[in-house]
Structure 1
Amino acid sequence: MNQSDIKHRDAVLRAYFAGRDWDVVGEYDLKRDLVLRSPQLLPDYPFLIDDEWECEPGRADKGRGDLVFTDGAGRFAVVEVKCLDLNQNSSAVGKKSSTRRNTNTKKRRKVESQARDYAGKLRAKLDDAQSVEAYYFTDDDKKELKRAET
């Protein structure tokens, strides 16, 4: 993908997220927040180049990544976005706090694992990528972007 394509994709996707300000709930709200704040949250990757990408084209059952950013020079960031709804679901009512903490930890680990998996899949698709980093963005911890540990 050349610089012109990268800039065009970034402009189209950012306009979409900025302009679609209705029905901003759940995961879409998180994605929109991340995209609008990405210059602060992900400054090393200024260009948004994909949203809801299939890990294997034509095979949505093999996974869909959320967002892909790039620096335009061969480095990429895959970001998985999830609403965890920690302690807000009906199954958490009446559980001991230690059980809720364990459940919440498992949810976070699953999102982190998914981010690593999707970054690996993108890395395999891109022969000339210098690096592909994995990040995740959830509705806990004040919506901070976190790097997935490898």
Structure 2
Amino acid sequence: MNIDETKYRDKVIRTYIKNRNWDKNNEFLLKQKLLLNSDQLLPKYPFVVEDEWEVEFGRSDSGLGDLIFTDGNGNFAVVEIKYIDNLNSGDTASNRRTKKRQKVREQSVKYADIYSKNKFVKSIRAFIFTNDNPSPIEINI
């Protein structure tokens, strides 16, 4: 991916997410927060190049990744975003939160592994971003 394409994708995706005001679900609002503050939250990766990307090309039923950032030099960050409902209490709610946290970790690692197979990727890191933490957390892959 050359720098002109990287900058173009960044501009289009940022404009779209910044101005998208009809989608107010909690997960989208987390994505919007991350994107609008990415210069502080993911400073090593100034460009966003993928939003809701097909993990397996042509097969959206195989999963959609949330965001991918890059430094423009072949280094990428796959970020999976999940909203965790911390308001409900009880064993069922606690189990649901635990499963959701585990799932987002698994997705970020799996999706980073898949994206790493692109010929233009030099290095890749996996992150999760939830409302549990104020900034993305890197997951070891």
**Same topology, TM > 0.5:** yes
Matched ranges for 1:59-74 at <5 A: 59-74=59-74
1:1-47 Cα shifts (integer Å, max 9, x gaps): 21111101101111111212343222111110110010000000000
Opposite residue 137 of structure 1, the aligned amino acid is F
1:39-81 Cα shifts (integer Å, max 9, x gaps): 0000000000010000111111211100010000000000001
Contact 1:6/1:72, CA 8 A, preserved across alignment: yes
Aligned residue pairs: how many? 141
Opposite residue 80 of structure 1, the aligned amino acid is E
Give the CA RMSD over aligned residues: 1.7
For structure 2, list consecutive stretches of 5 or more residues without a partner in the other structure. none
Which secondary structure does the structure 2 equivalent of 1:43 belong to? coil
Q: Which residue of structure 2 aligns with residue 13 of structure 1?
A: 13
Query: Take 1:7 and 1:60, find their aligned partners in 2: how far apart are those partners?
Result: 25
Matched ranges for 1:30-45 at <5 A: 30-45=30-45
Q: 1:58 to 1:144 in 2, by over 3 A?
A: same
Structure with the larger helix share: 1
For structure 1, list consecutive stretches of 5 or more residues without a partner in the other structure. none
Shift of 1:130: 1.3
Percent identity of the aligned residues? 45
Query: Take 2:98 and 2:25, find their aligned partners in 1: how far apart are those partners?
Result: 23
Query: Take 1:28 and 1:128, find their aligned partners in 2: how far apart are those partners?
Result: 28
- Return the TM-score normalized by structure 2: 0.90
Query: Take 2:25 and 2:95, find their aligned partners in 1: how far apart are those partners?
Result: 26
Greater CA radius of gyration, 1 or 2?
1
Contact 1:135/1:147, CA 8 A, preserved across alignment: yes
Q: 1:83 to 1:104 in 2, by over 3 A?
A: same
Query: Take 1:103 and 1:26, find their aligned partners in 2: how far apart are those partners?
Result: 17
Matched ranges for 1:46-65 at <5 A: 46-65=46-65
1:139 and 2:131 aligned: yes
Contact 1:77/1:132, CA 8 A, preserved across alignment: yes
Q: 1:64 to 1:110 in 2, by over 3 A?
A: same
